[in-house]
Amino acid sequence: MTTQITMPALSPTMEEGNLAKWHVKAGDKIEPGQVIAEIETDKATMEVEAVDEGVIAEILVPEGSQGVKVNTPIATLAGEGEAAQPAAKQETLKAQQSPPPPVGGGRGRGDGGSPAAKSTAATPTPDPAPRGGGGSERILASPLARRLAEQGGIDLSGLSGSGPNGRIVKADVEAAAKAPRTQTQAPQQSREVSKPAPQQAPATLESYGIRSGTYDLVPLDMMRKTIAKRMTASFRDVPHFPLTIDLEIDALLKARGEINKRFADNGVKISVNDMCIKAAALALKLVPEANASYTPDGIAIHHHADIGVAVAIPHGLITPIVWAAETKGLAQISAEMADLAQRAREKRLKPEEFQGGTFTISNMGMLGIKSFASIINEPHGMIMSIGAGEKRPIVKNDALAIATMMTVTVTCDHRVVDGALGAAFLKAFKSFLEDPMAMLL
């Protein structure tokens, strides 16, 4: 039986991807778990593994193709011993690979989950109605749907898929999670989430009086389009407010210098950012109500402080995560961040390394920025913006003095963190940074 290998959804927000490279060619025999292609998303380039065994009958989408929609057939797989059934490649490309959608409407969501990078979900073409599956039959579901079902304790065998050929997709699992316990599956209409009214396409520069030919237009890549969509949605839909505080960091700088000097032979090199990650994690555990996310069903209080740290990469940024940062020492945090930042710049992070988290830190102090306020990275309840440390005149014991000061701002989701709660978090964060020895307790 000939089946189709489709473009997988490698993240919750992925709508399209670039087929960067094929590791197989027509006529090759493949086995489950074998790497067959590399897919470039808006965040990273990921290897894709085969789900079924068989022989590659035809490559439908050549490597280097951009903007390939999720669930678009990219190759056909014939069962072992079957003759390859060539498909109309050009017709598939024309029909399936449409231009990228315009930037604009659509509600962005945070990175909440860790979908597996193993995909291709081969979907049978002759059999029109395999459902979620029962008995000993293989359940037809996308890797992302399987991961979400496992995390939510949902039995896939009781679901009907709305994807191609009855394939269970993310929306089906989310609908099942929201449905009452007595209801095994929701009707198709209930899966449809209310969408905001479509926005008007932005006006051309010429309509503003800018003459054609006086500028160069750099096309939007997948990362920049995703950033534009998600940040617009967050700023528009999340009721947010900033809280700002000044910290004296002379003691922190002294402690950092002593640590680096003492453990230099072990390759330890702690940064101010590393100490901020640790202090933020401890403050979130001290004020657990601030380590939260808003959901339509209630406020989620997280068990660990999973800190996402903004890393600038070409054409955008990404937030790799230090998981359970409150349980890790400064040396471990420093080593993890160095590795994550390096692989982020190479676009080699795994989905589980940048999807999820409970809190975000953005540090622009090294660029000389004194203070700023960041846009919330949903579903996080807060994001911290760290400015540059600098010598400033302050009043100490009713006398003028000079101290190294640093301005920190947290942008809060008012649905989760109100003013008093945000202030309590900042107070705890300040206590750890101004007295670094407290982080050792």
Query: Which positions are annotated as active-site residues?
Result: 414
Which residues are registered as beta bridge partners of 400? 395
Please give the Cα distance from 353 to 357 (Å, whole number).
Answer: 9
Q: b/e string for 176-198 if b means 16 or more Cβ within 10 A?
A: beebeeeeebbeeeebeeeeeee
Place of tokens 């065998």: 157
Please give the Cα distance from 313 to 347 (Å, whole number).
Answer: 9
Which residues are registered as beta bridge partners of 363? 386
Q: Where are the alpha helices (DSSP H) in 238-298?
A: 250-262, 272-286
Which residues are registered as beta bridge partners of 313? 316
Residue 227, H or E segment = helix 222-237
State whether residue 301 is helix, strand or coil: strand
Please give the Cα distance from 224 to 317 (Å, whole number).
Answer: 9
For the purposes of burial, counting CB atoms within 10 Å of the CB of 331, is it exposed (0-12), middle (13-18) or buried (19 or more)? middle
Please give the Cα distance from 316 to 224 (Å, whole number).
Answer: 6
Opening angle at CA 266, ends 261 and 268, nearest 5: 60
Please give the Cα distance from 178 to 384 (Å, whole number).
Answer: 31
Contacts 24+ apart (CB under 8 A), 361-369: 361/273, 361/276, 361/277, 361/280, 361/307, 361/308, 361/309, 361/310, 361/386, 362/309, 362/310, 362/386, 363/272, 363/273, 363/276, 363/309, 363/310, 364/388, 365/272, 365/389, 365/406
User: ω before 379 within 30° of 0 (cis)?
Assistant: yes
Is the CB of residue 159 less than 8 Å from the CB of residue 152?
A: no
